[in-house]
A and B are shown apart, each in its own frame.
Chain A
Amino acid sequence: MQTQKMPDFNFPPGSRDFIARNVKLVVLGIFALILLFSAFFQIDPEEEGVIVRFGKYVRTVDPGLNVKIPLIERVYKVPVERQQKLEFGFRTVKAGVQSTYSRDNFKDESLMLTGDLNLADVEWVVQYRVDNPYNYLFKVRHPEKTLRDISESVVRQVVGDRTVNEVLTVGRTEVASTVQVIIQELCQEYSLGLRIDQVVLQDVNPPDPVKAAFNEVNEAQQEKETLINRARSEYNKVIPRAEGEAEETIQKAEGYATERVNRAMGEAKRFEDLYAEYVKAPEVTRRRIYLETMEEVIPLLGNKIITDEKGNNVLPLLQMQMQRQNP
């Protein structure tokens, strides 16, 4: 079938005869080509190449085009520049601008005992990088699994030495940095060939069944603040005003005082002036003032009854009349 279609490939005339005549040459050529291609290989910028000859490590090569001995040497490419991460207590389902997470089946990972024998729900991320490709490849089987075990153990060790309050509030960053140091030490001890870039504590929560109680505490704290603020605002509303009013009272008293003294001084002066004239002619002055006063006063009066010394008997009459007017 294939041979019948061969002419379609449009070989130059006589080439088929050439191939047939030089089978050995063609086979050797193909073989050489394969060797050539397997000798050259490319290492990406984020990688390093580890080369083994007959299973034995010989050298590490940098990114770029590299050569190895075909068939005898083998290359392992290790992404040393790529930051990788392990998630605990949750998994990123879909990364992106709005990443989605799944955390339903990882409660066992995140639930841990604190030093005061309470429970806390801690989610965290370990970011790491391969920094020794030789150790990474040849020293430990399943380095990622090992790092996972180490991380779980270390976080529990550190959280186990702190109170639940510390873990939930002030201790967060301290826990993360302590964890990072210890994980790094263990990586060294186990020759994992990994470097820990960062340990980030994500959500640190009280366990679900006690969350409501923790919220209750927050609410109570808010309530406390509110009560105090309200009292303080009432205080601020009343006291400055009372201070102002006190000031007013005192000012008014001072006004009264000034007025009182001034009036006294004025009246005294007036009296003294009058007196100065009075002493010169007391009788006349007195009479004059009396008459002047009467002149002023009498027109204002209602009933005026003028009697002489014999008219005393009109008085009872008058009384009767007045009684009738004002019952």
Chain B
Amino acid sequence: MKNFKYILIIILAILALITLSQTIYVVPETQQSVVTQFGRPVGEAVSTPGLRAKVPFIQRVHFFEKRFLEWDGDPNQIPTRDKKFIFVDTYARWQITDPLQFFKRFTNERGAQSRLDDILDGETRDFIANHNIEEAVRSTNRKPDTSATTVDFIEDSLMNIVVGRENIQQMILQSANKRAQDLGIEILDVRFKRINYVEEVRNQVYERMRSERFRIADKFRSEGQGNASRINGEKERELKSIQSEAFRTAQEIMGEADARAAAIYADAYDKTPAARDLYAFMKSMETFRNTFDSTTTVVLSTDSELYRYLKGMR
């Protein structure tokens, strides 16, 4: 009898516990909840965290994320308006804003993700295909900084854009949100994560980059040779000018000196007829001295001034 009472108490306690756990539930900070009765939603969705109660057994509680959720698209191969084939990889942030509506549409998150795939991939495809590639790559019309050494002679300009990356993203977002209007969700942000050429185009781009670089390299070499030649020419010119100027100056100096010397000589020798005589005489004496040597044969007459005394004093 006593044992039976114990067992009854234990059974009652277990039943009470089960009922309690069916009645009380916790809504965490990160979640929101919808209560359903026989599959039909009852009352408002709950998005404030804390302890909640519901009718046990008949009502069920469904939890939905309250946080911003990620959506990551598959890389899509899309031709742009100017027929460039690119991969576009997008991501988006979204949130369940109306859990009730969301519950009606999807029941769980996976369904929503796949619906988002349809919407966002489609919108991305549409907008990329309607724009040139640079509109998706560039965001502003800023002027490139050309202070790098290599850019002063290659056409290093950025194409101007009309729409721009930011605006395309915005348009995709608005368009996608319009389509997601009755899904109980809101897309907060859509962005291009990666944009890249498809393999074949990539190789063409590499080829173009290579040829561009080779052109720059050739230009460098030719500039180097040009500059070297210029310096060499300058050198030759300066050399000639230095040498000839020196020659001229030297000649001028010497000429002047010759002139002065001539004047001095003339001044001395040309004073009187007697002086002229003496000069001529002295000069011939000097000439004798300078020109006669052992190979000279001289025939002297005894009539000469020198030897006239040989024949006897007169």
Secondary structure type dominating chain B contacts = helix
CB-nearest residue of chain A relative to B203?
A209
Secondary structure type dominating chain A contacts = helix
**Is B57 among interface residues, defined by CB-CB distance under 8 A?**
no
| Chain B 170-201 interface 0/1 with A at a Cβ cutoff of 8 Å (1 = within) | 00000000000000000011011111110000
CB-nearest residue of chain B relative to A209?
B206
CB-nearest residue of chain B relative to A221?
B220
**Is A102 among interface residues, defined by CB-CB distance under 8 A?**
no
**Is A246 among interface residues, defined by CB-CB distance under 8 A?**
yes
Q: Cβ of B209 and Cβ of A156 under 8 Å apart?
A: no
Q: How many A-B residue pairs have CB under 8 A?
A: 365
Question: Of the candidates B49, B51, B138, B294, which one forms a contact with A301 in the assembled complex, judged by CB atoms under 8 Å apart?
Answer: B294
**Is B69 among interface residues, defined by CB-CB distance under 8 A?**
yes
- B200 CB, min distance to chain A CBs, angstroms: 13
- A139 CB, min distance to chain B CBs, angstroms: 6
**Is A101 among interface residues, defined by CB-CB distance under 8 A?**
no
**Is B11 among interface residues, defined by CB-CB distance under 8 A?**
no
**Is A27 among interface residues, defined by CB-CB distance under 8 A?**
no
Question: Of the candidates B151, B194, B254, B296, which one forms a contact with A257 in the assembled complex, judged by CB atoms under 8 Å apart?
Answer: B254
Given contacts A228-B231, A246-B243, A260-B254, contact A309 B206 (CB under 8 A): no
Question: Of the candidates B220, B228, B307, which one forms a contact with A306 in the assembled complex, judged by CB atoms under 8 Å apart?
Answer: B307
Q: How far is the CA of A221 from the CA of B262 in the complex (A)?
A: 63
CB-nearest residue of chain A relative to B29?
A138
**Is B239 among interface residues, defined by CB-CB distance under 8 A?**
yes
**Is A327 among interface residues, defined by CB-CB distance under 8 A?**
no
Q: Cβ of B243 and Cβ of A149 under 8 Å apart?
A: no
Given contacts A56-B29, A213-B213, A242-B242, contact A271 B228 (CB under 8 A): no
B: interface residue count bin: 35 or more
Q: How far is the CA of A232 from the CA of B31 in the complex (A)?
A: 76
Q: Cβ of B267 and Cβ of A268 under 8 Å apart?
A: yes
Q: Cβ of A264 and Cβ of B209 under 8 Å apart?
A: no
Question: Of the candidates B147, B220, B256, which one forms a contact with A170 in the assembled complex, judged by CB atoms under 8 Å apart?
Answer: B147
19 inter-chain pairs at a CB distance below 8 angstroms, sorted by A residue, are A55-B26, A55-B28, A55-B50, A116-B156, A117-B159, A138-B66, A153-B192, A156-B194, A220-B220, A231-B229, A235-B231, A242-B239, A242-B242, A250-B246, A253-B251, A268-B265, A282-B274, A302-B295, A302-B297
- B interface residues (Cβ-Cβ under 8 A, vs A): 26-31, 48-51, 65-70, 72, 91, 93, 133-134, 137-140, 142, 144-151, 156-159, 165-166, 188-189, 191-197, 202-203, 205-206, 208-210, 213-214, 216-221, 223-225, 227-229, 231-232, 234-235, 238-239, 242-243, 245-247, 249-251, 253-254, 256-258, 260-262, 264-265, 267-269, 271, 274-275, 277-279, 281-282, 285, 288-289, 292-303, 305-307, 310-311
In order of increasing CB-CB distance, the 4 nearest A-B pairs are A224-B224, A257-B257, A246-B246, A253-B250
